[in-house]
Structure 1
Amino acid sequence: MKEVVQASRRFVLASRSPARLVTLRAAGIEPEVIVSGVDENDVGDVSGAAEHALVLARRKAQAVSAQLEGESALVLGCDSVLEFGGEVLGKPGTVDEALKRWRRMRGGAGVLHTGHCVVQTDTGRMVEAAASTGVRFAELSDAEVEAYVATGEPLEVAGAFTIDGLGGAFVERVDGDHHNVVGVSLPLLRRLLGELGVFWPDLWNRPR
């Protein structure tokens, strides 16, 4: 059996999102998960959907970084929202809201924004940016909408859909980084870490 070489940097994901965790693991990164506990419904006055996502990502990263005072780690906070028809749509939370959204979204297009914020705890440095990806939804029947919502999947995800789960069949096209629709843009994250002087391969857990 090959020995696994552990990453040389401690990497913390300030999110309970299983999709983000799976995406990072597939990219060779095994993060430590610490949930921030930030209230996603209290954003305040922001200028647009991308800023909305970025504010929450920053708050998540800062909240977890505060718990790691005196320790050396990279903390990633992320948050996603869907911009559709001039509205900012987070998690629907209820069956009624998810049904209402899908009846509006089917056959239409929106933009999925994900805010990314990385805090380097030992230096206090912080870098952040938002990634945006266009999404075109299929023209679902009423029966498909009801069946999808009944699975419960859309209730606790931004925009009431996934691209890496049951909802993948209902996304006709994406314009931009598909990882961003899952919840974390790997190319953007690599660039942000580069600004902190972090070499991306140093985060990989890999067999030797």
Structure 2
Amino acid sequence: MYHLLLADDDPNIRALVRFVMTREGYQVYEAQDGAEAIEVMKQGPINLAIIDVMMPRIDGLELCEYIRERYDIPIIMLTAKDQLSDKEQGYLRGTDDYVTKPFEPEELLFRVKALFRRYNQVSNDIIRMNRITIDRNNVEVSDGRSVLLLPMKEFELLAQLAQYPGRLFSREELIRLVWAADFEGDDRTVDVHIKRLRQRFADYADDFTIQTVRGIGYKVEVKGK
């Protein structure tokens, strides 16, 4: 299930959007201003944010900038303003899409689905697990704020599991896919590398976990999916 943040100071807008999104199977977390939205983000994984521009305390532009600096998730901005300069400010702050009020709820739903397809498309190069991004081209793992450097085999093991979330890999498969001809030793080598990955990413349990299926192997579970 995908988790959506809906930040808008208009309770009628929140009720309308919540109805449409929950009907589609999304879990919606609401905030009436930017400050409250930040607290919601801290409580657990959010997969997409829908935020109004004009809000008290912290407005939508500031909130968009805050999210973009810390999380790699899609952002849709809602606004009553339809001037090009206002849209430019939204895109400069990091929004992915822009919906002008009044809007049709079904149109907003279509845009949400389109952004999920774009963000969650798995390629051979970029893999995303909420805040964590795996870049196979540059052999880097990022949490949106900093780059986490891993030894090559740990990186390849994580990338292999993450590319197919929910799929169970046996130790033998992982040895063949990750170590191949370079492998020397027994299949417990996989266990050692998994243990190290769990230690490295212990603070990211709200984003993904590496699960053990006793006697068989391992799989990655991405939170919110």
TM category, shorter: under 0.3
TM-score (ref. length: structure 1): 0.27
Query: Which has the bigger relative contact order, CA under 8 A and spacing at least 6?
Result: 1
TM-score (ref. length: structure 2): 0.26
Flag the structure with larger Rg: 2
